[in-house]
Each structure stands twice: as C-alpha cells, then as structure tokens.
Structure 1
Amino acid sequence: MARSLEERQSITWEACREAVLLGPVSHISAVDMWKVERPSQTNFVSDKLHVTVSDPRLSRLSSPDAYVHCWSGLDSRHIRYTTDGIGVLNAETTWALMAKGTQVDGLTELGESMIRHGRTTESKLRDFVEHETFQCKAKCYDALTLMDSRSDSPKETQTRLCLYSYGLWGFTSNYSVPGISFDNGAAITLDLADPELLIGIEYDGDHHRTDRTQWRRDAWKRRQLESMGWTVVSVTQLDLSDEPHRAAFAMNIAAIRARKLGRPIALSTPLPWRKVACRMRRMRRI
C-alpha cells in the first residue's frame, strides 16, 4: 500500500508539472498528492487532474488537463504549496470537498486515512465543517460521527462500518489486549474488539496468508487469545465484497454475541448512513 501511495503521488505530481492549472489541485488528485488512501467508493474519476477555483467564470472554461470545480469560499488559507510551487488544497478542504461525490462511509474512510497518516486531526476536520460554507455539510457531520481515529487501515474501517450498518455497535478499534504480549514485549492488538464479551475481529489481507512469518505470528496470537476465552473472527476481502457476504459476516458476529450473552441479538437490515450516524449520536448522549 505504501508503494502504491508513493506511485500515485509521483504520477499526479508529474501531471501537475506538465499541466496548465487554473487553480490548486483538489479532490481525488489532492488525495493522491497528500499520499493517503483513496476512499473505496467515490464518483470522482482520476483520468485527469482535478482543480478548484473560486471564480465561476473560470470553472466554465474547458481545460484539456483538468476537471475544474468551483467553490466560492476558496482563499489562500486553504492552499498549501509544494517545494516546486504547485498549489494543493489542504487536507481539511480536500476532505470536505470530496463529500459531494462520496458517500458517508467513503468519507469516513478518507477522514480516518488522513488522520492515520498525520495529515490532519479529527478536531481540525470538525472545525472546518463548523466554520466554512460548502455543500454537503450534513454528510460531513455524519462521517465525523462515524470516525474512529484509532483505526489502523481502510479495511479495518470498512469492517467496522459494515457492523455498524447492521446495528452491531460496541466495537473498539485497534484494541490492546491487557495481560498478554508477544515474546519481544510488543502489545497484542485486535483490529476490532468487544472487550466485554471477548470477541475479536481481525482483517486478514493477502500478506497474512503469503508471508510465512506473519502467518505463524497470527496463529500463535489467536491460540493465546482463545486460551484466555476470546473468540477471534478472521475477515477477508470476500466478506466485504458485496451485500450477501457482508450480511453473512454480520450474522456470524451477531450469532457469536448471542451465544455469549445467552439471548438472541436483533440484527437490522442495512441502515442508511444517516440513520447509523443518528443512532450513534443518540447513544453517546445516553
């Protein structure tokens, strides 16, 4: 993933050097320039650069090099410059303007990626939403509600949001299990955990299978956790690939919770993200 981010940044940077830009680099192009993961679902295509201008007359000009967007609130506060003078929207502005063509889950994923890579903070994103005027503010507020700055990868974010969409709450991201560690003293963590019921969820990318050392480390870790009463569930891309697989994954987690609690667990049909965010806000007020 790190190599892919480097490559995307390099390709976009080179395109910027060769193009005539009417404004600062923005949207999916700015995501690449900031070297963070793109949201898995977005309507913004990347066959050309994206730039943003404040003058609507400029946005109506045809450019062979870029898609030209218009945001009347744009000023110098929102722009950062590379060492060779290329203007790029700052991380907060990039995130907020991506909301127009990105669903709440993708916006949540992007925000967490920017935080994880140190490009911004949750408080800076919230401050931008509260004080700037732009489209899709409500979507940004919903994404902020769903964000967890402890998430360690986009796939972990997608896994957590899958559970949220089915009404399964109470999972902690990147949870350090107390009372146990690796031989070198490193903490044993779980991508997602319900510490009360001792349920752990681990997203296994291909390297967990193809890297022999990683595979052995994972197997040892799960044996130790299971000896302490944890139930550890492995998740792969297949589990997140479409709605039937996502539903099966959610039903599996609900069944484990029901077994540990000794009572049935209600599972909703996939909820719209607005409802998921509203429920989370209500739970936080209780």
Structure 2
Amino acid sequence: MTRGVYATGSEEPTLTERAAAAVLVSPADAVITGVTALWLPGVEIGSPEPIRVATETAGQTVRSGVRLSRVRCLPDSRRRIATPQAAWLAACADLDLVDPVAAADWLIRLRRVTPAELGAAATSASGRGCRLARSAAGLAQSGVDSPKESELRLLLVLAGLPEPRCNPRIGTADEPIGQMDLVLEEFKTIVEYDGDQHRTDPMQWSRDIARHEAAVAAGYRIIRVTHGRMKHPREIAETVHKALTDRGYRGPRPRYTNLWQTLFESRRV
C-alpha cells in the first residue's frame, strides 16, 4: 500500500487505509490535510492523491504517493486528520476557484462549518492560497446540493449575471411545486442541473417531470443543463441572459473575463 507498510487481504486499500499508512511512515507529528482530508468525510473535490501530509519536522522523508509539506504551525486536527475548516484552507493552495467554492458549499451543507467560520478562517489565513480562500469564502452559499450546482452557479455569477437562490422550495402552501436548483425569482427563471441520477432513476425522472410541469404552469421558465451542456459554458450564460431579458432584466450582458475563460472554458468538465 505504502512502502514499509503492509496490509493483509487481497482487496484494494481504501483511502482511509492509505492515509493511515501515510501517517505511519511520516514524522510523529504528521497530520493528514488538504484535499485528502476533505475526501475522508466525503467532500470529493479534486484528487485525494498523493496523500497530503503536514509536519513541523525538518527531517527528510520521501515516500511514493505521499506529499509531505513542512509548515510553521500544524493545522487544527482530530485523530491526525485536519479539521474540515483547516483542510479546506490547505486545499485552496492546490485548486482553482471553482473547486474550493464547491468544497465550501458542500461543507456548509453537511454542517461541518458555517459561512461565517469559513470567512473568518480565510480572512486570517496567510501564505499560499490565502487570496483564493478569501475569494472562495465570499462566493460560498448555503443550500447547494452538489458540486455541479456550485460550478453552474459560479458560471453565471462570475459572468456578471444575478445571483440565484440555491434549492429553494417554490409554490404556495395551497399549491406547492417543490425544490428547484437555482432560482431567479424576480424573473421567474429556474436553472436546473440534470445529473445522471435524474436520467437513470425512473422515480426521480417522474418527479422531475411533474415538478417542471407545475413550475411552467406557474409561469416559470426552466433552463436545463446536463453534463454535456456544461462543455459549452458561453451558450449556457447566453441562454440564461436571454431568458432573464425576456422577463424584464436590464442588467449587463455576460462578461467573459480571463478568469471566467480559465475556469469554465479551459478547465476539464
């Protein structure tokens, strides 16, 4: 599994087992941190490997599959794993803006951190990744259900379009419609991300159809985005902008800055 550490059995070691092995071959103060520490409680953003390990020890340790970082102060941790807040801060040094925002949204949804805690941590941070952490904390939202929803929301917001509400329930007490992904209530416009579970789960598919029909009957415009459509981010932004202007929006057209192009046209989707 890791040179110098052996596991019994023929099954592939889990990430938790590989992280434990990395700790065993690292200095005595080692802490699992960064993207790896985010994956352990289920926040699967970026790649968990190599296993990220932090230490204050100055000695040399080189192990395949382990990235050992020497830090002035170890991150807050529990049982040799960085706390979610500390892991997120460390991960900001490895990722672009989209993934830290998605991770922050996910941690908030899991109630591992609050937006205020992330903001305070980012404000007090220093060193590599601190500027990105502050930007990501400012963009994080509660109520987001998936990393793809986070990416879709950022695609719109960073192009200068209005900020949607995330997963609100629409309708009235007498005629409830249900929960929708991204809602721009002022313009009666909904943007939905349809992941594979919407297509492969017949019950989910049926619920989606009924929910969408009810929303359209109530006067909403629904724009549906699939994984394939995410490969054409400008088309999504232009479609949403047209839907908004058709319903009274008088704000600016989408702006495709260098940052936007890097995040949504150059990155893999």
Q: Shorter-chain TM-score: which interval?
A: 0.7 to 0.9
Which structure has more helix as a fraction of its residues?
1
Counterparts of 2:43 and 2:174 in 1: how far apart (Å)? Answer: 30
Counterparts of 2:130 and 2:88 in 1: how far apart (Å)? Answer: 11
Partners of 1:258 and 1:265 within 8 A in 2: no
Matched residue pairs, number?
245
Partners of 2:108 and 2:115 within 8 A in 1: yes
Partners of 1:50 and 1:66 within 8 A in 2: yes
Match in the other structure for 1:31: 38
Shift of 1:154: 0.8
CA RMSD of aligned residues (A): 2.4
Are 1:21 and 2:21 counterparts?
no
Which residue of 202, 212, 218 maps to 1:212?
Answer: 202
**Superposition map of 1:115-264 within 5 A:** 115-179=108-172, 188-241=178-231, 245-261=232-248
Question: Percent same amino acid among aligned pairs?
Answer: 21
Are 1:51 and 2:53 counterparts?
yes
Shift of 1:239: 2.0
The runs of 4+ residues in structure 1 deviating greater than 4 Å are: 262-265
What are the Cα deviations for residues 139-185 of structure 1, in whole angstroms up to 9, with x where unaligned?
A: 11111111111211111111100111221123111121131688xx7
Partners of 2:35 and 2:88 within 8 A in 1: no
Match in the other structure for 1:74: 74
Are 1:268 and 2:258 counterparts?
no
Aligned residue identity for 2:21: E
Match in the other structure for 2:91: 98
Q: Using a 3 Å threshold, how does the CA distance of structure 1 residues 153 and 62 change in structure 2: closer, same or farther?
A: same
What are the Cα deviations for residues 120-148 of structure 1, in whole angstroms up to 9, with x where unaligned?
A: 22222222223344432221111111111
Q: TM-score, normalised by structure 2?
A: 0.83
Q: TM-score, normalised by structure 1?
A: 0.78
Q: Using a 3 Å threshold, how does the CA distance of structure 1 residues 74 and 134 change in structure 2: closer, same or farther?
A: farther
SS at match of 1:118: coil
Partners of 2:122 and 2:137 within 8 A in 1: no
Aligned residue identity for 2:53: V
Which sections of structure 2, spanning at least 5 residues, go unmatched? 1-12, 261-269
SS at match of 2:222: strand
